[in-house]
Each structure stands twice: as C-alpha cells, then as structure tokens.
C-alpha cells in the first residue's frame, strides 16, 4: 500500500459513510497480572450507540495515521511459519458466521499472550467489514454516479489499546449541598493512543493483497519486532530511520567519511528526482548499483559498483539489500537539514544545501552561507565585509 491508498481508506472511518460497512466488532479484555483473557464480547457494530461508534471510528483513524516505514509498515508474511497468522486471518476474512470469525480472532489474541507480560490491562478490538472504493471520481453533472461501479474490499482491522486508572475526584452535590469524594473503580480504555494494531489484507492497485499485512506501531520508529515476527508472522522490517543510518554508513565507507556540501546536495537532488519520476508507481529502492550511479552523477569520480557492493556487505551483510529512497531523503522542500555547531544551529532545505560551505582561512574554519539579500539581525542590516578582512580595513 502507498500513502494514497492508506489515506483513502483512513478517511472512510466516519459515521454514516456508505462506502464503509462494518459488520461486527469484537472486544477482548486482557488482565496484566495473568496475561489471560478476562472477558470478550462480540456484537454488530450498528448496535453500538452513536457516541461509542464515534470513539471507535476516531481510534481506527489514529491507528492508520502516520508515515510509511516510520509508524506504518507493509509486511510480507513469513513462509512456512507454524500456526501462520496469514492463514488464520484469511480464514477469519472468509468466515460467514460470527462464531467462526471470533474463533480465528481469539487465535491471534492467544499468540499475543504467549510469553508476554503486559504492564497494564489491555483491550484488543477487532472489526470486520467491507471497504468500497469507487472506480472514478464524483461527477455531479454526470448521469452515472461514481458509486454505480465500485471495488469491494473485505477487511479485518485490529486495534490494541491500554487502560488507565480512573481519577480520584472531589465533587459538589448541588442537592445535598455538600462536597463528596468520588472514586470510580472501573478502568478507562484509552482509545486516543492505540498501542498498535494491523489491517488485513493490504490493498494494491484496487486489489486485495493477502500476502501482505499493514502493521501500525504505537510510536514512530519503534515497531514491536516480537509482535511482527511471532504474532503476525511478518518478515523482519527496517524503519525509515534504520534505512537512513544504513545509507549514511555506506556513503561514509565509500567516500572516507568526507563530503562537501555541493556533492551531498547533488546526492539529495538525484534521489528526489527518482522519487518524483516514480510518484505514481511503487516507491523506488536503491541497490548497490543505484547508489554507485547516484554518487557518480553527484560528482564522485572514483566510485565504482564493486566498492559500493563491498560497503553494503560490510555494513548490512547483504550486497543485494535495497534501501527505500524516501527513507534517506530529508523532506526536500522544508528546512529539514539541521547544522549544529557550538556557535549556532541552522536549518536548511536539501535543495539549498549547495549554498552552504565550510571554508578554511588562516588556520580557522568558517561556515559560509551564500545569500542573495542583505542579512537582518534583530532589525539591524548587516554591513557587507570582504572575507578575511577586518571591518576597519
């Protein structure tokens, strides 16, 4: 799934939307002390009152929020995994009766509980439904409605949420005219910050992809690898942050840990060009040959494929590994690059990096920024000075 696919299904989670039909909701309450199921309950989603629906809809939207490879991860299922979650979820997806679906979902929960101790009680929520995607955009003037022809996508979504201790409060009773201590013993289910979850199957080019599952982490760059590998049986994944570190280490190994700003700016521009050209397709990935080509086109003449392959093998022990281009490129049009020194911290965009240089004069290092206009500091316009010459001269 790409970000457009996720954004489209995410915005469907709203009450009264005829493009999203949620048939059943299944809640499982798990005790922290025993890591056992204390209670579970299933009911038709339409049986919930409007306030409950709104709470859950917002929870599902939060689950699907975030950037790919930072908070959301498309995972490929492991092959030949014992008690494979792909088969369990697929059977649940195809199940025509509620009891059969619940049985499959409880298998997933039992896998979550194996060798796991939670810090607090948690609630695991499953829904199953149908997501309808129109084949074309809405045209108010056309006789044929966009909804006459739609793609139908059955799905299962799981949201994992923790519980909070209720607050102890002091209340004022208007009738009795007295202050009263109020303490509710029932735990509060925190639906505002999901701990994790998943969407099955993934949707690619308006078709269901049962070989992949969309996993959502609780925090950015912090996927639960145990959950991914042992519960979902997904293949090991790398975050965008991990990919960026690998890329930087490979570049350092190839270039000797030194680059000037012009070359680095060229590297970023070339990678950005690849992303823009493939915007409507699958996001581009960089293998050793691509990295070698990018470095050569950026002005590094003494780089060859063998040298880059050797760096891949040394850094990640795999000369066939592919790095996602979007993971290594700072946000191109914003001031996403931070230059930190003891004197000052500067933010600059990748496309403007070429205007920054580190120069050396009389044994001292200077950070020089090329500007087109006068520099104004605290309302004062700076006087232009000849580089390396005292103002008095």
Distance (Å, rounded) from C-alpha 105 to C-alpha 92?
Answer: 7
pLDDT number for residue 135: 73
Q: Would the pTM of this model clear 0.85, i.e. be above it?
A: no
pLDDT for position 172: 83
Q: Which residues contact 73 (CB under 8 A, 6 or more apart)?
A: 214, 215, 216, 217, 223, 228, 237, 239
What is the Cα–Cα distance from 120 to 166, expressed in whole angstroms? 13
Q: How many CB atoms lie within 10 A of CB 69?
A: 22
Helix, strand, coil fractions of the chain, as percent rounded to 5: 30, 30, 40
What is the C-alpha separation between 354 and 337, in angstroms, rounded? 12
Nearest to 153 by CA among 132, 126, 127, 128: 132
Determine if the peptide bond prior to 201 is cis (ω within 30°). Answer: yes
Q: For residue 229, give every residue at least 6 positions away whose Cβ sits within 8 Å of its Cβ, in sequence order, or none.
A: 78, 235, 236
The helix (H) or strand (E) run that includes residue 179 is strand 178-183
The whole-angstrom separation of Cα 6 and Cα 27 is 24
78-96: b (≥16 Cβ within 10 Å) or e: beebeeebbebbbebbebe
Our CA angle for 142, 146, 150, nearest 5°, is 155
What is the reported pLDDT for 21?
A: 94
Q: Where are the alpha helices (DSSP H) in 162-287?
A: 225-226, 240-255, 261-277
State residue 136's pLDDT score. Answer: 63
Task: Determine which helix (DSSP H) or strand (DSSP E) holds 74, and give its type and residue range.
Answer: strand 72-76
| Straight-line distance from the first to the last Cα atom of the chain, in angstroms, rounded to the nearest whole number | 63
Q: What are the C-alpha distances in Å from 87 to residues 197, 243, 279?
A: 18, 30, 33
Per-residue pLDDT of the chain (393 residues; tens, 9 = 90+): 888 889 999 999 999 898 999 999 999 999 988 889 999 999 999 999 999 999 999 999 999 999 999 999 999 999 888 889 999 999 999 998 999 999 999 999 999 998 788 889 999 999 999 988 887 655 555 544 555 677 889 999 999 999 987 777 788 888 888 888 776 667 888 999 999 999 999 988 778 899 999 999 999 999 999 999 999 999 988 899 999 999 999 988 888 877 888 888 899 999 998 888 877 667 788 998 999 999 888 888 888 888 888 889 888 887 788 899 889 888 888 888 898 888 889 999 988 888 898 888 888 888 888 888 888 888 888 888 777 666 555
Ordered by start, the domain boundaries in the chain are 3-236, 241-328, 337-381
DSSP-assigned beta bridge partners for residue 30: 37, 122
**pLDDT at residue 393, rounded to an integer:** 55
């Amino acid at each position: 799934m790409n970000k457009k696919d996720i954004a489209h299904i995410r915005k469907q989670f709203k009450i009264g939307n005829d493009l999203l039909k949620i048939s059943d909701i299944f809640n499982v309450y798990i005790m922290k002390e025993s890591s056992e199921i204390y209670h579970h309950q299933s009911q038709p989603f339409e049986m919930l009152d409007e306030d409950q629906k709104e709470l859950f809809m917002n929870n599902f939207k939060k689950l699907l929020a975030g950037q790919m490879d930072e908070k959301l991860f498309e995972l490929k299922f492991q092959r030949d995994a014992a008690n494979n979650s792909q088969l369990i979820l697929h059977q649940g997806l195809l199940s025509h009766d509620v009891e059969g679906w619940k049985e499959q979902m409880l298998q997933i929960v039992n896998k979550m509980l194996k060798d796991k101790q939670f810090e607090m009680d948690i609630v695991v929520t499953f829904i199953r439904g149908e997501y309808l995607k129109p084949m074309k955009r809405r045209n108010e003037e056309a006789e044929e409605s966009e909804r006459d022809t739609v793609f139908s996508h059955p799905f299962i979504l799981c949201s994992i949420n923790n519980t909070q201790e209720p607050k102890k409060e002091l209340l004022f009773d208007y009738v009795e005219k007295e202050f009263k201590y109020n303490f509710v013993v029932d735990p509060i289910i925190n639906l505002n910050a999901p701990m994790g979850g998943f969407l099955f199957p993934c949707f690619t080019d308006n078709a269901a992809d049962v070989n992949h599952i969309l996993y959502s982490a609780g925090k950015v760059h912090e996927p639960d690898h145990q959950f991914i590998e042992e519960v979902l049986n997904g293949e090991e994944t790398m975050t965008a942050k991990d990919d960026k570190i690998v890329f930087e280490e490979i570049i350092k190994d190839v270039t000797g840990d030194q680059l000037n700003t012009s070359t680095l700016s060229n590297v970023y521009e070339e990678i950005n060009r690849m992303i823009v050209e493939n915007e409507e397709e699958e996001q581009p990935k960089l293998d050793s040959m691509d990295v070698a080509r990018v470095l050569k086109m950026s002005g590094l003449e003494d780089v060859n494929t063998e040298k880059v392959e050797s760096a891949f093998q040394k850094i990640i022990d795999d000369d066939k590994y592919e790095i996602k281009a979007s993971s290594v490129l700072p946000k191109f049009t914003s001031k996403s690059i931070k230059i930190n020194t003891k004197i000052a911290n500067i933010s600059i965009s990748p496309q403007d990096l070429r205007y920054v240089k580190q120069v050396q004069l009389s044994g001292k290092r200077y950070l020089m920024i090329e500007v087109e206009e006068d520099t104004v500091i605290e309302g004062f316009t700076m006087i232009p000075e000849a580089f390396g010459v005292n103002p008095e001269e």
